[in-house]
Amino acid sequence: MSTLTTPEIAGLFARSSPRFGLRVVRAEGPYRHLVTTSRSERDRRYEVVTWPGSLVVRDTDDSATYTFSGPVDLTGFARAEYERGVDVRRWNRLMASGSSLVMAYSEREFRRRLAVELAAVEPECSGITAAWDAFLDERDVEEPEEAYAALATFAYQGETFLWLTHETGFEDYHFAFVWACHIGAWAVTRYAADHAPEPTAPPMVQSRGVDSLRWSA
């Protein structure tokens, strides 16, 4: 399970994308089927398919699929996201049902939120934060089952704190979802750049009273 935050994943993508390429399987107006390539065998390959009102990103290695749909122009949205910086919250709002995992347990989020919750009760329960830190130092909480077991076990001055699990799910955006958002934005933008129309030269006109030709303004 990835321990990277959403900004850290964005940074990793920025460092990785220069070695990516794009293969066009089909392109007929808004209907496009694109496949990512890479100079590195370690990189996963993705299919990006667009049609009016929809954009699909599929990991060809494990079939994780994210479908985005809505009344907006999804290709225009993806290009705008690439330019201004991908915001996974905006992509999440366009998620269609049946897509792969979006949120997942995060050890980092578990530790962060517990620190906030315990700091709030520290004035009435002095020393609880230090006790929790010492308690946690002796346990692994990489998996959600371990985190909930730690909460169920922890007690301070005869009080248990399992109620904290009702306040938060300790989740963050899943690595695969964040990466798929970046792949979608990158692929659509790369396709647009690769297939931009060639600039046309201004027409030639003949100047009055001059035999030579000049470019029109």
Predicted confidence (pLDDT) per residue in 39-97, tens digit: 999 999 999 999 999 999 999 988 899 999 988 889 999 999 999 999 999 999 999 87
Neighbours of 45 (CB within 10 A): 15
Number of residues in the chain = 217
The DSSP-derived string for 94-151 is TBPTT----EEE-HHHHHHHHHHHHHHHTTTSTTHHHHHHHHHHTS--SSHHHHHHHH
Neighbours of 72 (CB within 10 A): 13
Total-model pTM: 0.79
Predicted confidence (pLDDT) per residue in 95-124, tens digit: 987 778 899 888 998 998 889 888 988 998
Any bridge partners for residue 204, and if so which?
215
Contact 96, 90 (CB under 8 A): no
Average pLDDT of span 177-186: 97
Which of 104, 125, 118, 106 is CA-nearest to residue 151? 118
For residues 128 and 85, what is the distance between their CA atoms, to the nearest angstrom? Answer: 40
Query: Residue 168 pLDDT > 60, yes or no?
Result: no
Contact 54, 69 (CB under 8 A): yes
CA distances from 213 to 200, 204, 208, 217 (A): 18, 7, 10, 13
pLDDT confidence bin for 212, thresholds 50/70/90: very low
